[in-house]
Amino acid sequence: MRLSSYAELEARFARIGAVQDAAAVLHWDAATLMPAGGAGARAEQLATLRVIAHEMLADAAMPDLFAGAAAQLDLGDWQRANLAEMRRLWLHATAVPGDLVAALSKACSAAEMRWRQARPAGDFAAMLGDLKRVLALVRDTAAAKAARLGKSPYEALLDEYEPGGSTAAIDLLFDDLARRLPALIERALERQASLPAPLPLPGPFPVEAQRRLAVALMRHLGFDFEHGRLDDSLHPFCGGTPEDVRLTTRYDEADVGRAVMGVLHETGHALYELGLPSAWRRQPVGGARGMSIHESQSLLVEMQACRSREFAEFAAPLLRQTFGGGGGEWEAENLYRLNTRVARSLIRVDADEVTYPAHVILRYRLERAMIAGDLAPDDLPAAWNEAMGALIGIVPANDRDGCLQDIHWYDGLWGYFPTYTLGAMTAAQLFAAAKAADPGIPLAIASGDFAPLLAWLRANVHAKGSRYSTAELIAQATGRPLDAAAYERHLETRYLAA
């Protein structure tokens, strides 16, 4: 029996999804277990899979299938939303020739592997050639997509991660934040200095003990180890597939908070993936609704829930048991104050939530300038250091802690960074709405029960996949459009009043 146009599209996208799933697992393996000698072969494998997926999307039959599906009158709401997402992905794919897709994939694979050696050494010179190659190919990709989508080159890249995202809207939010942040950081530091300093936790913290603690916390949050695992990598991330979610973190025996908070952050991502609608698996409508929503889920878990006093009450006995601690250092209030310590730090992934937005605004402005051709890669370290001084009040002593600290640009992820702070704003608004809907959520967290919070997120965010736009999803879940009010109120309450 001949399939309808829409049914044929579903079958094709299911195959594309399977190819992309395979690439995701290979990418995880490259970042965790693969020996360095496999890098060349892995680059070829990933490039081949990405080209196959691209060719399937760009197949000559697609325009007729889209036209036929659009004319069908028997499609439900989810199917029509799926069709719209299919078309958006198809427009992105057909804007870029296959040879450019392959070239960018190979360049990113090579740059990522070199970054793994260059970053610990702080050797930006070793990365400069790779950065230039990746940037040139990204700019070619941006130009091709901009022409097809009718957007600016940067917005064409942004649309991959934040569908419908606008630089005008982001600039409005970020410029306002950038004006407020230096004073907010200063006020938070002044208030912090007026109080007795929290007691540092006495280390060392053995890696295996940290791993046991991380796994225990993941289980409390609701992570399903039948459908995922935790491993080590140089840069923490969440990857894999919704049936097989792969988390990674990095450990520091002198600082237990670095790994634990990283795991909590990535678990937020993982819970979103695990909660996506299974009925729409490997269909665009069944995927995550853009990266600002994805980041809202990780930041809601890490920042909103797991840096709260309630979480400290739950976690304190676990930490004492895991590391054999005793005394005031291990009390809940001390842990809370350690977890909400504000500092002018250099590393984004370790930053507190007061200074974190400044890290993101810095990267957003720099990547826009590089895409536009207003900032040359050779000048990136100096521009980075200048912006760090202006926004955060601290300048890195080396490029390891400066422009080499993130993997994103070297891995081809341009247009991604603004979603972190958009996600933080969304997280604050969602968490406030969840507590308003179920006032028992904070008390449940204090006892290690995250089920009420997870149930609200499942119903209001996870299960909706990409059925709605980002703006629609936020408005439905919280009763109003995204704004900075809940975010600013949260920061002021936690860091200036609490």
As annotated, the active-site residues are: 266
Residues 6+ apart with CB under 8 A from 86: 9, 13, 66, 284
Q: Which DSSP letter does residue 277 get?
A: -
The answer to whether 174 touches 184, Cβ cutoff 8 Å, is no
The answer to whether 249 touches 269, Cβ cutoff 8 Å, is no
Q: Which DSSP letter does residue 288 get?
A: -
Token output for 32: 């965790």
Residues 6+ apart with CB under 8 A from 171: none
Token output for 22: 């395979």
The answer to whether 381 touches 402, Cβ cutoff 8 Å, is yes
Residue among 107, 131, 108 nearest 380 (CA)? 131
The answer to whether 158 touches 145, Cβ cutoff 8 Å, is no
Residue among 359, 352, 306 nearest 177 (CA)? 359
The answer to whether 91 touches 144, Cβ cutoff 8 Å, is no
The answer to whether 225 touches 272, Cβ cutoff 8 Å, is no
**Interior/surface letters 141-156, b for 16+ CB within 10 angstroms, e for the rest:** bbebbbeeeebbbbbb
CA–CA separation, 55 and 444 (whole Å): 49
Q: Show the DSSP H helices in 162-240 as ranges.
A: 167-193, 207-221
The answer to whether 474 touches 426, Cβ cutoff 8 Å, is yes
Q: Which DSSP letter does residue 352 get?
A: -
CA–CA separation, 186 and 138 (whole Å): 37
CA–CA separation, 490 and 435 (whole Å): 13
Helix (H/G/I), strand (E/B), else coil: 473 = helix
Judging by DSSP bridges, how do beta strands 244-249 and 228-232 pair with one another?
parallel
CA–CA separation, 23 and 16 (whole Å): 11
Identify the residue whose tokens are 């459908």: 227
DSSP H/E element including 42: helix 39-57
The answer to whether 159 touches 417, Cβ cutoff 8 Å, is no
Residue among 111, 116, 151 nearest 135 (CA)? 111
Residues 6+ apart with CB under 8 A from 210: 251, 253, 256, 259, 260
